[in-house]
A = this chain, B = another copy of it.
Amino acid sequence: MAKALKVTAKDVARAAGVSQATVSYVINDTPHQRISPETRERVLAAVADLGYTPSAAARALRKGSSDVVLLVMPHYPIGPNIAALIERLEEGLEGIGLSVVTRRIREGRPMASLWREMMPAAVVTMVTVDPVDVAEMGQAGIFLTQALLAPRSDEATLSLPQILIGRLQVEHLAQAGHRRIGYAEPANPLVENFLRLRLEGVRTACVELGLDLPDVRPVPFDTDAAASAVRAWREAGVTAVCAYNDETAFALLAGMRLAGLSAPSDLAVIGVDNIPLAPFAFPPLTTIDQHIDVVAKHLVALVRAGIAGEPLPATPRSEAVTVVVRQSA
């Protein structure tokens, strides 16, 4: 039961009457090393007895890479959706012996010092990576997987297709007969990356479906301001609005109530994210689900295979993004 200040493999070796190498072999189940069952037993017993835990630092130094996966995120605020993604990722990765360290960086900044310092087994990034960094990480044997917002075909890249999201919002609205569509953008400039793409999807879909271009208005996190936006849309003949995300949709709905209007009759509203609270909006919120659990699972599988040097798993079917119809649109 762990007494010595610091129990090392050497201590275990001595206690078990074997060499340090043997301790390492049994602990790591090193292949092509035939350890006799009794030896293995004795080592394991000594390990348990002394409460030995291998030093991550020593192992990392020796092997040249640590058991962490570096998660690189942009500086935008972490909504419930991304928070869930991170949580699932941590959970899944922990299951295969990996720790995740999250780091925020400004888009376009070099990330070299980050990974050189940690020598992670893999890096998962949601920010675009400089080609030089990509190359150097490759040389250093670090598996890189990117979760990008735009679609892209590359085994090690997973896309969170924001454009598709915008498109889906419009298609759903158009199907219900809406011709003049509004777009509620959040006030936060940090979210620019997501916003630009979602809006692009909305615009493209409007054009393709022969609708007017969307009437884009900011909807800050404030009921009064949301109410003003709602009135403006009504005057402009807008009958349905795509909200940037569910939180914006909630603000919008609150603004409508203040303005004495209700969804979907006065103005239909569709969000993005399908947050846990969406069913409890008034009226229950129609929204787009990104199926973040599928994304997280795939990311974990990608990392696992990438580190093991196995062939990468195929990207899950891209219909991962679906509309969840409730009552607001």
Contact A276 B247 (CB under 8 A): yes
Binds B, one of A166-174, A248-256, A296-304: A248-256
A204 to B238, CA, bound (A): 53
Binds B, one of A25-33, A113-121, A306-314: A113-121
Asked if A221 lies at the interface with its beta carbon under 8 angstroms from chain B, I say yes
A223 to B326, CA, bound (A): 13
Binds B, one of A13-21, A52-60, A190-198, A317-325: A52-60
Asked if A51 lies at the interface with its beta carbon under 8 angstroms from chain B, I say yes
Contact of A280 among B61, B113, B253 (CB under 8 A): B253
| Minimal Cβ-Cβ distance residue in B for A120 | B56
**Interface size range of chain A in the complex:** 35 or more
Q: For residues 44 through 74 of chain A, which have their beta carbon under 8 Å from a beta carbon of chain B? A: 51, 53-58, 60-61, 66, 68
| Minimal Cβ-Cβ distance residue in B for A221 | B276
Contact A57 B61 (CB under 8 A): yes
A53 to B56, CA, bound (A): 19
A53 to B101, CA, bound (A): 18
Contact A87 B78 (CB under 8 A): yes
Copies of this subunit: 2
Asked if A316 lies at the interface with its beta carbon under 8 angstroms from chain B, I say no
Asked if A103 lies at the interface with its beta carbon under 8 angstroms from chain B, I say yes
Asked if A83 lies at the interface with its beta carbon under 8 angstroms from chain B, I say yes
Asked if A36 lies at the interface with its beta carbon under 8 angstroms from chain B, I say no
Q: Which residues of B contact A247 (CB under 8 A)?
A: 276-277
Contact of A139 among B5, B55, B139 (CB under 8 A): B5
Q: For residues 66 through 103 of chain A, which have their beta carbon under 8 Å from a beta carbon of chain B? A: 66, 68, 78, 80, 83, 87, 90-91, 94, 99-103
Contact of A117 among B55, B87, B112, B282 (CB under 8 A): B55
A210 to B257, CA, bound (A): 38
